[in-house]
Amino acid sequence: MQQANEIYSIFHEVTVNLQDQSKMDGSFVICNQMGEFVFWWRQYSKPKKNDDVKPFEIILHANNISKIILNFQDTACYLLISTISPSNMFQFSFPQASYYQLMQFSQMLAIKQQMSGSESLEDAMDFISSTYYGSETPKRHIDLNIIEGRIEFPSFLSPSGLLPQTIDVVQPDLQTSAQFGVHGDDYMSNPVSESDFKLIPNIKVLKDLVRDRGVAKDIRYIVWPLLCNVLPFDETKRQKMLELRTNEYISIRKQWKTLSKHQLKYFSLLKESFSTIHVDVKRTHPPEFISSVPNWSQMLTSILRSFSLWNLNVRYTQGLNDIVVNFMGIFLPHMNKELTADEVEALTFWCFSSFVEIIESGINAENMMLMQMKELKIIGEIISHFNQKCDEFFRLHHLSDLSFIISSLILVYARNFAMDDVIRVWESVVCAKSPASFLRYFSASLLIHSFPSISMIPDCSLGKVVSVLDKIFIKQNIGNVIGVSIAMMSKNAIKEPEDLPAVEEPIVSPMNPFFTLDFSSATIYKENGSLFI
């Protein structure tokens, strides 16, 4: 008996990001066509008589889809669909108002596929109420694998997955570190101290030492601005540049503080960013030594708002608060001692802004999710080169696209480890010859070290991995993970664009309209052929 066509959901003002960077708005329909799920997007068009030209459209059938990713942000929702033949990735951007409708569709899809007709409406109602997540939910990223036209749901969207997942987190495979002759303590227990720092002749030597050893906590507030090219290595010029940096930050902060409510009302990009920042700051739960500082949340808000103004060409990305808090942890302990409150705020802002640019993660890019999918592919190639057993396991369990770490990667693992360990990882990242490449190798090393625990998950699936990944990551020996990352990168397994010879670029005037720093002064902290402004 032929099955009737059925429309499940209709969405409007859905934007498609095309490969040539252009964008189109249109309608998006999810339907059942002859028993098969179909995702159908069509560009808006006005009907014209005697016009045979059809509007641009995208039609994706479930049997040609390998993965669906739903990503819920405060300003928009994103749907990424990977196709099998040809292999492609389509990104659809939904307005914020579609958040609940997309969540409802996910629940409905799960019910239709996973619940039999014999189950009662009471059972369906239990499932719906148990799997609903509102605006405060951490479940803002849903991965759906499609295998032979059948969707595999994560545990929190599965009636059988509502029970707590249990897993024995085992010690990382010591053979991995032994294979590379790595001893984790070498990378954690002998940080660059104040006495060491005074003997270091230049920024290159400093970065080489910090990459391998890290920085002692008591001098991080001195060293990090040098690593981020915020202050000069030359100590005699450092105080003058600190004054300039602080004044520059205050001028940026003043820009948004002096906006009237009427001006902000029509400054849509900034208004949306400020709204997201307000929610992010409320969700931030820093360590006690930060939360005990009066007005810490106001400082965090000021830094994030200033960053939004500094980066007007892109929208504020949810989660940046977790990165900023780690930088606050470097400078806040020195407030009203070695540094003034404005200097603490300014250095946090500049180091954070520099870090986001240095790592080239695309966290502040418009097509962030697409950029991250490309990063995951490179990370997968590194894993395949160094640990075929891990790679084969991921492929066998449909985990080879590594989408389960995308949230962690976007935030540079800011939420996955204790603050001191996060900062230690970042010290190796910013001091690597190619920070972006090191982050890929670190991600591969972390997954290889976590593999023994992941492989023990019964009936391992994407949903089950996501539900326990934080518990697995935090148990890893950070020294071993860093050491293996450095060793793998030195073997240069994957040739990347950064391997091309560096070309000295001339210094040019900055384009940012809010930059007021005397440019002749800025040249004094040009180090290693790079200049952060």
Both tokens of residue 13? 């003002």
pLDDT in tens, 15-25: 987 665 567 88
Q: Is 136 part of a structural domain of the chain?
A: yes
Number of domains in the chain: 3
Residue, of 128 and 484, whose pLDDT is higher: 484
Helix (H) or strand (E) holding 305: helix 296-310
Q: Report the pLDDT averaged over residues 354-368.
A: 74
Given this model, what pLDDT does residue 33 score? Answer: 80
Share of the chain above pLDDT 90, in %: 44
For residue 380, pLDDT beyond 80: yes
104 & 224 share domain: no
12 & 129 share domain: yes
- Whether the full predicted model's pTM is greater than 0.85, yes or no, is no
435 & 306 share domain: no
Q: What band does 240 get if pLDDT is binned at 50, 70 and 90?
A: very high
Given this model, what pLDDT does residue 524 score? Answer: 40
Cβ–Cβ contacts within 10 Å for residue 433, how many? 14
Residue 505's domain comprises: 193-361+501-525
393 & 286 share domain: no
Q: Which of 72, 93, 74 has its CA nearest to residue 28?
A: 93
208 & 288 share domain: yes
Q: What band does 322 get if pLDDT is binned at 50, 70 and 90?
A: very high
Residue, of 186 and 126, whose pLDDT is higher: 186
Q: Is 169 part of a structural domain of the chain?
A: no
Q: What is the CA radius of gyration of the chain?
A: 25
Distance CA 65, CA 62 (A): 5
403 & 450 share domain: yes
For residue 413, pLDDT beyond 80: yes
Q: Is 151 part of a structural domain of the chain?
A: yes
Q: Residue 210 in contact with residue 190, Cβ under 8 Å? A: no
Q: Report the pLDDT averaged over residues 411-422.
A: 94
Q: Is 13 part of a structural domain of the chain?
A: yes
Q: Is 227 part of a structural domain of the chain?
A: yes
For residue 148, pLDDT beyond 80: no
214 & 332 share domain: yes
Q: Is 530 part of a structural domain of the chain?
A: no
What's the N-to-C CA distance of the chain in angstroms? 67
Q: Report the pLDDT averaged over residues 316-343.
A: 93
344 & 218 share domain: yes
Q: What residue spans of 387-475 are helical by DSSP H?
A: 388-396, 406-410, 419-431, 435-454, 462-473
348 & 386 share domain: no
Most confident among 73-77, 135-139, 444-448 (mean pLDDT)? 444-448
For residue 440, pLDDT beyond 90: yes
Distance CA 89, CA 367 (A): 12
Distance CA 497, CA 437 (A): 10
Average of per-residue pLDDT values in the chain: 81
Given this model, what pLDDT does residue 151 score? Answer: 66
Distance CA 408, CA 412 (A): 6
For residue 392, pLDDT beyond 70: yes
For residue 526, pLDDT beyond 60: no
Q: Is 533 part of a structural domain of the chain?
A: no
Q: Within 13 A of 273's CA, how many CA atoms are on the CB side?
A: 27
Q: Report the pLDDT averaged over residues 150-161.
A: 57
Q: What are phi and psi of 240, to 5 degrees?
A: -60, -40
For residue 120, pLDDT beyond 60: no
463 & 402 share domain: yes
Distance CA 277, CA 74 (A): 9
Instruction: State the residue for tokens 């920024």.
Output: 203
410 & 518 share domain: no
pLDDT in tens, 256-284: 999 888 787 777 778 888 888 998 899 89
Strand partners, 210: none
Helix (H) or strand (E) holding 161: none
Residue 317 is given by DSSP the state P
Distance CA 100, CA 128 (A): 13
Given this model, what pLDDT does residue 21 score? Answer: 55
SS3 annotation, 453-507:
HHCCCCCCCHHHHHHHHHHHHCCCCHHHHHHHHHHHHHCCCCCCHHHCCCCCCCC
CATH number at residue 30: 2.30.29.230
Q: Is 531 part of a structural domain of the chain?
A: no
CATH number at residue 492: 1.10.472.80
Q: Which of 228, 253, 251, 241 has its CA nearest to residue 350?
A: 228
Range 10-44 burial, b when 16+ CB lie within 10 A, else e? ebeebbbbeeeeeebebbbbbebbeeebbbbbbee
Given this model, what pLDDT does residue 210 score? Answer: 98
Given this model, what pLDDT does residue 519 score? Answer: 35
Both tokens of residue 316? 């504020």
477 & 373 share domain: yes
Distance of CA 493 to the CA centre of its chain: 24
CA-based torsion, 84, 90, 91, 92: positive or negative: negative
